[in-house]
Chain A
Amino acid sequence: MRMQNPVVSDSVATNSCREGRPLIWTRGLFLAVVSTSLMLSPVLTRGQAADKPQMAASAVLQAPVQLVVGGQSIKNNSKGTLSVVGSSLQLEADGKKFSVEASSILDVTTNKDTRQDVTGAGHLAAEAIPYGGSRVISLFSHQIDVLTVEFRDANDAYHGAVFAMAEGKAASFRKQLVALGAKTTAPPEPAPDKK
């Protein structure tokens, strides 16, 4: 009994060592691939980031927005794409286009607001939750940017439009429109702190 156990255990140990070698090699190779990709990824990302400013400079500024009010032929609360093309602000929604020349803008301002995460049919369905359960859903909301544009048309008539968009997007629209000749009463944004 004493002799049997060590022999058996030895043979098992040697066998496992021999069979394990390819496994160790595979694991090693896998780790090498993973670590190399992890090491290279920041370099790749930096390279892409370095390319981005050039792309941004050449591409038009655009963002998905919700027209809150003032889209003339476009219905209020329509979702579309707002962009700065050439020297004008354009909204495309419901297959219709609405455009304002930057030079005709009397004031462009930005503000912050919040929107519920669950809206429309989902919100209606939530109302059916018993014991005021829908109130819990109301807790889930997100910050949004509000862009307000005031302008005059060719007949000198005064118009206004309000757009809701993702947080942090409105400032770039305002900046670009002001650069294109739009007027603003809002004070210029402070320069970001350099740490």
Chain B
Amino acid sequence: MKHHSRTVNSVALPIVLSCALFLMAGPLMGQQSSSESKSPKRVSASSIQIEAPDPGHVPLPPEFRIAIYENLILQIEKTGKFQHVYRSGDKDAANVPDLVTLRTTAQAFTEGSQKEREVTTVKGATSLTVNVRITDHAGQSIVDRDIKGKVVLSGENLDATYDFSKKVAKIIRETF
């Protein structure tokens, strides 16, 4: 019996130790790889100017256009990545040397119904897809992505613009 328990210990101990090492090292490796993949190089800029959204060929209602613009300004200000967040047309932005500009163009829009969403839980979603393009002072593209904003279960239709602007703020945090 003694011999048997010694054998079990000699086999089990290295396995347990190697498992523990693997578990400890795993998150560290994950952190390294995620930080490498998420932010290959961060761009530095002191200020950003948000241009008014371009509806493109999409029949985007004015309240959605304005909600996109105003929510974007609020969320980008919240990131704290820039000293100034300038609005479209602001005269003061012209003198900033390292200014980056964010332009949005609507790609798709589906207006749902709050009642339908909350009653059926599967229908009536409001969604919008907007192309987000951030360029530097020389016009070089820093970000060029299509971002989707949606409200699926509960909430008002305009909440889709809030969802969109939160996603853009996340991209800003990762890029700057």
Contacts and interface: CB of A to CB of B under 8 A. Distances in A.
Interface string A94-113: 00000000000001010101
Interface in A32-90: 68-70, 76
Given A69-B70, A113-B157, A150 B91 contact: no
A24 B92 CA distance: 86
A70 B66 contact: yes
Contact of B70 (A70, A115, A146): A70
Interface residues of B, number: 27
A107 B62 contact: yes
Contact of B87 (A107, A158, A162): A158
Given A107-B62, A114-B113, A157-B87, 7 more contacts: A68-B63, A138-B119, A141-B115, A148-B62, A156-B89, A160-B65, A162-B66
28 contacts: A68-B67, A69-B66, A69-B70, A69-B158, A70-B70, A111-B63, A113-B156, A113-B157, A114-B113, A114-B114, A114-B115, A116-B115, A138-B115, A148-B63, A148-B66, A156-B90, A156-B91, A157-B86, A157-B87, A157-B89, A157-B90, A157-B91, A158-B88, A159-B70, A160-B65, A161-B70, A162-B66, A162-B70
